[in-house]
Structure 1
Amino acid sequence: TYAYSDSTAVVGPLATASEPHSYDLCEEHALRLTAPRGWEVVRHEGGFAAPQPSGDELTALAEAV
């Protein structure tokens, strides 16, 4: 997530809701993320767990099969 007013990039678990300044990254890219000069990067402590599929994702998968 980017907080432009605070010049801060926050790297943490995947968002549970859509946010206009949030982007989903794989673990490799989340660990390598850098921010513009003068910005602060705040990183989530601990590992990144794989998200659990939601009911919508499971329904879409079942309908696709």
Structure 2
Amino acid sequence: MATLDELQTMLSVDGYSLSVETADGKTKAVITAGEGICEDCLVPKVVMTGLLAQALDVPAEQITLEYPEEH
């Protein structure tokens, strides 16, 4: 199981950044793509949400995930 830091590191190697905010029992995760990085080349959102749920130890239903093409 990957930690949040490990997920952020793995994404940064490919040119993405991951920010996570938690408030009122809800978690918002936003992934942004760096300059010239493919915005829709990430794993499906359901997979990333599952990874985040494990890393943060929260139910996947409490996570809202935004991918680069959604900004």
TM-score of the aligned structures, taking structure 2 as reference length: 0.28
Larger Rg: 1
Larger helix proportion of the pair: 2
TM-score of the aligned structures, taking structure 1 as reference length: 0.30
Larger strand proportion of the pair: 2
